[in-house]
Structure 1
Amino acid sequence: MITRILVIRTLDVLKGLVNTGKIKTLAKNASAIFIQVFTSKANPQWVKNIETILHENLPGAIIVGASTSGEIANGQLFTNSTVISITFFKETTVKAFILDAATGGEVDLGKTLRADIENTCAKIAGVLLLTTTTTMDVSDFLTGFADAQVAYPVFGGGAGEYSSPVSEMKALIFCNSRHTFKGVVAVAFLGDGIKIETHNYLGWHPLGKEMVITEVNGYWVKKIDGQPAFKIYRRYLDIQNDKSFQHNAIVFPLMVKRDGRQYARPAMAVNEENAILFLADLKKGETVLFGYGDPNTIIEQAAAVQSLLAAFEPESIFLYSCAARRAFLHNDVELETKPFENIAPTSGFYTHGEINSSPNSINHLNYTMVAVGMKERNYGGKAAQIQNGHRKPLFQEDADLFAYQHSRFISRLLHFIRAVTDELEIANKETRRLAETDLLTQAYNRVKACELLNSEKNRCERYGSEFSIIILDIDFFKEVNDTYRHIAGDAFLVNIVKIIKKQVRAPDMLSRWGGEEFLIAMPETGLDGALVVAEKIRAAVEQTVFPGAGHQTCSLGVTSFKKGERIEELIERADAALYEAKQSGRNRVIAK
């Protein structure tokens, strides 16, 4: 395969570039001609004019494309231009599809497109997807498309636009003389000879305090930590609810962790209720943090991917990179993209959302770079020009003192903020631990116990499950203190906690309820199960010879939660059972 990359701003320039002997010779010997058009103009007439010229000179070519938030040609950023990537395959064939999307029908659209591709194509080596991210639910579409496991790589991006707010954005995708502002373009690459390798990386880090999504409606996040979502942007970032909201918020995504992987979600708009529209899904109950890019991390991750692609030896590279990366890296953006050109001809565009498959899913990404290498067998690329992916560090000592000042400043500032944040988080965790832990025994204290009991009550009310509690009191503990002194009494209480912990499960909650009283809450446990555990604890205490205190005993009251009752009623019933155990001679278990 051979790729030629053109950059145009007028149709006359395009006519001159494609009407050449070299282009015609490449076309004559090609098994298929695949053309991607990345244009700053979301204008159907402009696209139609380009398609007409291309079809006149390259009849039979498959032409697809998208409007952009920036174009990439030969690894360099171009703006307000149209980049045309023409790939001449030697043995591969290509088939393209375009489908319109209906609101609410995205899952079915994904299933339909997948079926169309697999029912009409054989030997699928990979599928490119171009979407209109701002006018359809791409996450739902990908859920439908990946209804069954996909055996080939899937990659691509969402069409963009330069300056319109998301509410007015009309990002365009097109395929073989058809276009849509709401839909999907798919390209299937077919044959035994073509090999496709994809990689993606983020370079954004979570930063600051954890917050919880508490109310959503589709892609609109209505509340975070129980407050209108916009308030966190105003409080922590001083971003106002005005026409510049999207531009001010674009480099501050919310980060969410799913299946061990960090995802970034960009804020796009605010409504009159102070809810925020995100470009991809966030789910109720998910924990999120603000995120911020690190230029050093981005360049390091780019170098790692470039090394992998160099080893793959592609003949062409296609980049689908989030527009936020362009906004964040600013004048240094080519530090990330230009080295790809040293491996193979590199083209692509700045997207609104990226797509890349993993072994078990197809991911709707944001803020990422998706790098795709393609080659046909027995035809070498330019990989020899990169030796094992080795590159000089971003801020090398012999570099121009004034070069990359934006990235230098951001990297150092971010490192400082992360270091301070980590120190504060460690201090806050220790403060929380001290606030909820009994200093002597290291069991939970009464305040934390009440919190956990109410949480367990709510869970049982919601799901109809059960839980029980045990209240334990040391028999004649005053005599232990009077006879053996308080130091021995303290050691005795510490040992009691150790004994209890050996008899209960990890999900059970142990707290110091009073001076010599302990409360054990047991989720998913009925009265009979709690009685068994209580008896084990009683017997273990009775059989232990405590250092400095000899043989001692305890009494235990046991009860189970009854739906609809207050926690106070539950505790009163356990207390009554404990009182009965004491009155009955101590060293026994009573249930009520």
Structure 2
Amino acid sequence: MKSYNFKIKNPIELQDIIKNSNLKDSEQLLIQAFVGNISKSYIIELQKELQKYFKKAHIIGSTAYGSIANAKVIDKPYATINFSYFKDTKLLSYSIGDEVDEYNTGIDIGEYFNDFNPKLIIAFGNGLNTNGELLLDGINSILNNTIIAGGLASKDEESSDTFIFNHSLISSNKVIAVGLSNPNLNIIDNYALDWIPIGRAKLVTKSIDNRVYSIDNISAVDFYSKYLGEKVANNLSNIGMQFPLIVNRGKDSVCRALMKQHSDKSLSFAGNLKEGELVQFAIGDIDTIIKNSNDYKNELPYSNIESIFIYSCITRRYFLQDDISIELEALEKIAPTTGFFTFGEFYNQSLLNQSNRYIALSEKPLKSIEVDNNLIMNSKNNSTFKALVNLTNTISSELEEFRKLQHLKIEEQKNDIYRKVYYDEYTNLPNRLRLFHKIRHHKDRYLIYFDVDRFSKVNYFYGFQAGDELIINLKRYLNSVIKNIGILYKLPADEFATIITQDDINIREFIATISKRLTMMVFKYKEILIPYTVTMGISKIEGDGVAIRYAEISVNNARLLHKPYIFYSDIAQDNKQKIKDTTQMALIVRDAIINNKLVMYYQPIYDIKTDKIYTYESLARFKISDNKILTPDKFLPILPHIYLSNSFVKMVIETTFKKFANKGIRFSINMTIDDIVNREINDFLYQKLEEYNVYKQLTIEILETIEIVESKEITNFINKIRKLGVKIAIDDFGSGFANFEYLAKIKADILKIDGSLIKNIDKDENSKIIVETIVIFAKKLGIKTVAEYIHSKEIFDIIKDIGVDYAQGFYLAKGNPELLS
């Protein structure tokens, strides 16, 4: 490959050049003509001369406000004609199509060259009327691996139009191109920008492709006038290119040069600016441009590059002034250069502005050389302008750094507010408000509501820190089972929720599986293992927040029906009758308490050694009618839901104490942990003990739970009431939390062994061993034992042989409203 540049003033000068040189016509000759005289008649004369001598060559030309020949800037009235002879490279010129828009013109170019398999396409377009970005999009839709170079024709301030031309065509609104095909043609292409943003980013509020109507909600012209002044704004068509806008697209910054001002105060740019993009004014960084010019030798470290084509932005020339030669000379030291200053540079898929676009070519295999980085080129410009530019860049950089810092602080504050509004502070999970906003996007999926049972009791007995530990324990478990299939939310107090986002999950199987674990959860607090359970409500999301309410209803109904979970759809179908029955039962129980329909039954407990009645257990019933008695398994679960638990317990205390007063007969009543810590019931108990003076007759049976040991309030109650002569019995010992260490701490008088261990003791050897162990340990502690559920002589004989102190059950006697004589 050989490349030659000639500077001419008059087209007729070509005759002497041809006579005095070896220039010959060839199909492998590329002629690039860059004309500084923006005159159609001049181009016609040039065409005639070129047609006369070069009928086979491929000609591509453009008007230019400055051309490049061997690192020299060639200005009006001269033209630069470059002759590049190729040895092994085929050339093909593009014939102008009939497409009316740039994108389809680009497609036409791509289809035209497709079979030619070009390695490089050089294209020129009109500088004022061509949307270079759409043109490149069209070409790349067909040829996405082809290098594309060239640019938009430029002009001086005095001219009104730009032109592109080839052998026979001169146009102010078309596109011309030449394709180069050679698999062995070595091409190294790149560009330099080095323009930096100034000031705050502004929003493009209205635009269509490359025509911008408003920025920051004011007209594009008024936007320029606001920041650059009225005088500049009135002459934007001529000098607007010196004040480009810069936009960030991904990792790259792209400048957009102003090309044309319209009467409606809109502006056309060399490439598209999309609505919603943020733009800033841009200015060149002279020091960086000069520094990067010294790096061209590192980007092109070869000894046999044969030619470099340069398509550089005219704004770069304006801005760098005399220093433009530094950039051009850096490339000239590598290989002969030719090109022009454009209104827009073609870089493969992208349209550039303010850049220096170059193509290094060689038909020979590239030979690497060692680069001498000691040769540094320095700026030739020490003018006030450079100082002002440097000052502007420095201040802009400082302001940008300040802006970024402020933006970072604002973002941190926004994020902090966002997290406080939408996230639970303790668990770092999204909260109920976040759930409410997100749930509408998950139509036809499932919402699961988790509610910890008796959570307030954990806080009451162990403290709020224990409650917090429970929440974290439950969060860990729920995260472990939900992390891949849903989103976990933390709701107020002890509630969680999740949206199941995996559509192919079998929701009923999933709920059944996790329910087994949620009914026997346990966490460790201060070396204490504390058990808890969780009830679930499940609803299908219909597209709004009503699913949250349905899930809450499901939880409440699950508790009402004593179930670990309920689907809202089941409430609406299968459980309607159950809900109705439970509601009816609530009305019956309420009526029974209000109208005092309580009937106490008294079941004797026998001393096994003497066969005499030792005491009576008081058992509550409601007499609904002459033939209907309501047992505790029916009404006790209802009481908390109708808020009559206190009234019921007080009725039991009053009726039983009155029954045994002045009789000298021992008796027992059952009290729950909730009853004992309830101030109203506690006060009532002490009041009635004093009123009926049954201190030494009474035994209080308390269900075995861990709270008996760990709650100071329960411990204080037991110690205080025992001092008054009341005995304490631990009911259902061995049912759940049996621990002999706890037993030693409780200081109970009696242990009532759980009926599940007694009723099958004649058949279950393990039950027998457990009961024997309990009895032995109790005797060592001086605690009496009671065996419940004695329903046969065989069982009675076994517990007698084991050494149990007292026996109770249907085999011995049933409960009765009257005491046995």
**Do the aligned partners of 2:255 and 2:353 also contact (CA within 8 Å) in 1?**
yes
Structure 2: how far apart are the matches of 1:341 and 1:239?
A: 39
Which stretch shows the higher mean deviation, 332-341 or 466-475?
466-475
2:364 is aligned to: 377
Structure 1: how far apart are the matches of 2:43 and 2:513?
A: 80
Counterpart code for 2:163: L
Is 1:353 the equivalent of 2:344?
yes
1:149-188 matched pairs, under 5 angstroms: 149-150=143-144, 152-163=146-157, 170-188=161-179
Tell me the CA shift for residue 559 of structure 1: 3.6
**Do the aligned partners of 1:395 and 1:408 also contact (CA within 8 Å) in 2?**
no
Structure 1: how far apart are the matches of 2:417 and 2:96?
A: 58
Per-residue CA distance 1:90-123 (angstroms, 9 max, x = gap): 524533224155434x44433333333345x5x7
**Do the aligned partners of 1:51 and 1:63 also contact (CA within 8 Å) in 2?**
no
Tell me the CA shift for residue 440 of structure 1: 3.0
Is 1:94 the equivalent of 2:111?
no
Counterpart code for 2:426: L
Structure 2: how far apart are the matches of 1:479 and 1:271?
A: 76
Which stretch shows the higher mean deviation, 34-43 or 514-523?
514-523
Structure 2: how far apart are the matches of 1:316 and 1:378?
A: 14
Change (3 A) 1:256 1:525: farther
Change (3 A) 1:203 1:531: farther
Per-residue CA distance 1:8-50 (angstroms, 9 max, x = gap): 5x31xx54476147x7433149774322122344432121122
Is 1:135 the equivalent of 2:138?
no
Structure 2: how far apart are the matches of 1:269 and 1:471?
A: 62
The DSSP-based 3-state class of the residue aligned with 1:26 is coil
2:651 is aligned to: none
Is 1:117 the equivalent of 2:113?
yes
**Do the aligned partners of 2:120 and 2:148 also contact (CA within 8 Å) in 1?**
yes
Tell me the CA shift for residue 304 of structure 1: 4.0
Change (3 A) 1:428 1:318: same
1:483 is aligned to: 461
Is 1:562 the equivalent of 2:542?
yes
Change (3 A) 1:312 1:211: farther
Match of 1:25 among 18, 21, 27: 21
Is 1:316 the equivalent of 2:302?
no
Counterpart code for 2:245: P
Change (3 A) 1:147 1:273: same
Is 1:387 the equivalent of 2:365?
no
Structure 1: how far apart are the matches of 2:341 and 2:508?
A: 60
Change (3 A) 1:492 1:416: farther
Which stretch shows the higher mean deviation, 523-532 or 472-481?
523-532
1:440 is aligned to: 426
The DSSP-based 3-state class of the residue aligned with 1:19 is helix
Which stretch shows the higher mean deviation, 529-538 or 551-560?
529-538
Is 1:337 the equivalent of 2:328?
yes
Change (3 A) 1:30 1:136: closer
Structure 2: how far apart are the matches of 1:410 and 1:125?
A: 42
Is 1:573 the equivalent of 2:564?
no
2:409 is aligned to: 427
Structure 1: how far apart are the matches of 2:200 and 2:390?
A: 25
Largest Rg, 1 or 2: 2
Counterpart code for 2:371: Q
Structure 2: how far apart are the matches of 1:304 and 1:287?
A: 32
**Do the aligned partners of 2:515 and 2:564 also contact (CA within 8 Å) in 1?**
no
Counterpart code for 2:429: A
2:100 is aligned to: 103
**Do the aligned partners of 2:473 and 2:523 also contact (CA within 8 Å) in 1?**
no
Match of 1:126 among 120, 123, 139: 120
Per-residue CA distance 1:172-212 (angstroms, 9 max, x = gap): 21111311122211112245664332223433457877887
Tell me the CA shift for residue 66 of structure 1: 1.5
Change (3 A) 1:187 1:513: same
**Do the aligned partners of 1:321 and 1:370 also contact (CA within 8 Å) in 2?**
yes
**Do the aligned partners of 1:204 and 1:291 also contact (CA within 8 Å) in 2?**
no
1:221-260 matched pairs, under 5 angstroms: 230=220, 233=223, 237=227, 242-244=233-235, 247=239, 251-258=243-250
Structure 2: how far apart are the matches of 1:147 and 1:473?
A: 57
Identity within the alignment, %: 18
Structure 2: how far apart are the matches of 1:56 and 1:570?
A: 84
Query: Structure 1 stretches of 5 or more lacking a match?
Result: none
Structure 1: how far apart are the matches of 2:119 and 2:35?
A: 27
Tell me the CA shift for residue 295 of structure 1: 4.0
Counterpart code for 1:376: E
1:488-499 matched pairs, under 5 angstroms: 488-494=466-472, 496-499=474-477
Per-residue CA distance 1:333-379 (angstroms, 9 max, x = gap): 4443331111112222222332233xxxx333444332101223279
Which stretch shows the higher mean deviation, 425-434 or 442-451?
442-451
Tell me the CA shift for residue 268 of structure 1: 5.2
**Do the aligned partners of 2:58 and 2:92 also contact (CA within 8 Å) in 1?**
yes
The DSSP-based 3-state class of the residue aligned with 2:161 is coil
Match of 2:141 among 142, 147, 163: 147
Per-residue CA distance 1:481-501 (angstroms, 9 max, x = gap): 333433444454455545444
Structure 2: how far apart are the matches of 1:470 and 1:314?
A: 70
Structure 1: how far apart are the matches of 2:519 and 2:355?
A: 58
Which stretch shows the higher mean deviation, 387-396 or 319-328?
387-396
Structure 2: how far apart are the matches of 1:483 and 1:394?
A: 81
Match of 1:48 among 29, 44, 51: 44
Change (3 A) 1:350 1:377: same
Is 1:38 the equivalent of 2:34?
yes
Change (3 A) 1:102 1:192: closer
Change (3 A) 1:583 1:181: farther
Change (3 A) 1:185 1:235: closer
Query: Structure 2 stretches of 5 or more lacking a match?
Result: 570-821
2:316 is aligned to: 325
The DSSP-based 3-state class of the residue aligned with 1:431 is helix
1:72 is aligned to: 68
Change (3 A) 1:435 1:114: same
**Do the aligned partners of 2:290 and 2:379 also contact (CA within 8 Å) in 1?**
no
1:363 is aligned to: 350
Determine which structure has greater relative contact order: mean sequence separation of CA pairs < 8 Å that are 6+ residues apart, divided by chain length.
Answer: 1
Change (3 A) 1:249 1:134: closer
The DSSP-based 3-state class of the residue aligned with 1:576 is helix
**Do the aligned partners of 1:543 and 1:551 also contact (CA within 8 Å) in 2?**
yes
Q: TM-score, normalised by structure 2?
A: 0.57
Counterpart code for 1:387: V
Structure 2: how far apart are the matches of 1:405 and 1:558?
A: 71
Per-residue CA distance 1:238-262 (angstroms, 9 max, x = gap): 777943457558545242425x544
Change (3 A) 1:84 1:249: closer
Structure 2: how far apart are the matches of 1:572 and 1:215?
A: 44
The DSSP-based 3-state class of the residue aligned with 2:429 is coil
Change (3 A) 1:313 1:534: farther
Change (3 A) 1:395 1:356: closer
The DSSP-based 3-state class of the residue aligned with 2:416 is helix
Which stretch shows the higher mean deviation, 128-137 or 296-305?
296-305
Tell me the CA shift for residue 128 of structure 1: 0.8
Change (3 A) 1:389 1:347: farther
Counterpart code for 1:257: R
